[in-house]
Amino acid sequence: MSISFYDASVGTYTRILDSVAAILDKGAAFAADTGLDPQKIVETRLRDDMMPFHFQIVSVCHHSLGALQGMRDGRFSTPSFDLDKDYEGLQAMIGEAQAGVASFSEADVTEFAEKSMVFKVGERELPFTNENFLLSFSLPNFYFHATTTYDILRMLGMPLSKIDFLGRMKVG
């Protein structure tokens, strides 16, 4: 059995974006139930030398929808980090990423699967095939930031389980 580029990209992004959206919904309910200021969540870091919750959400979106757009367009660069988003704004950002990822058809993704792209970081440019970009850069970053989102909410006392992160699994 082989896996398609569409399943590896859109399929993976969709499942975890859905999980992050559900975790954020639970986070909002948890904050309301416990009196936790949602802005505290937005600003929380796992460690002082790590980026805050807000950065994790921006990165989840950038390494899913932004990655697909970059592979399609042949260019990917670091995102803009609008630090003025509140918790609801971050939830909306995930919703926009979900809708954007869903807008890519299998035919769209198949068309650019074999192409190349350039990742621009400042003045430096790193050439990638789209497959190598997906497998060695985008997906690892996507999972890292989704996991860190989960971890920050757990650290704040939110009752989450591994299944909350894994989301809807394909069985059969």
**Which pLDDT band holds residue 166 (cuts at 50, 70, 90)?**
confident
Residues in the chain: 172
18-72 pLDDT tens trace:
999 999 999 999 999 999 999 999 999 999 998 999 999 999 999 999 999 999 9
Cα–Cα distance, 33 to 151 (Å, whole number): 19
Query: What pLDDT is attached to residue 47?
Result: 92
Cα–Cα distance, 30 to 36 (Å, whole number): 8
CATH number of this structure's domain 5-166: 1.20.120.450
Decide if 164 contacts 23 (C-beta within 8 A). yes
Please name which of 147, 142, 156, 148 lies closest in space to residue 41, comparing C-alpha atoms. 156
Cα–Cα distance, 161 to 164 (Å, whole number): 5
**Which pLDDT band holds residue 84 (cuts at 50, 70, 90)?**
confident
Decide if 111 contacts 6 (C-beta within 8 A). no
Please name which of 40, 64, 25, 27 lies closest in space to residue 144, comparing C-alpha atoms. 64
pTM flag (> 0.75): yes
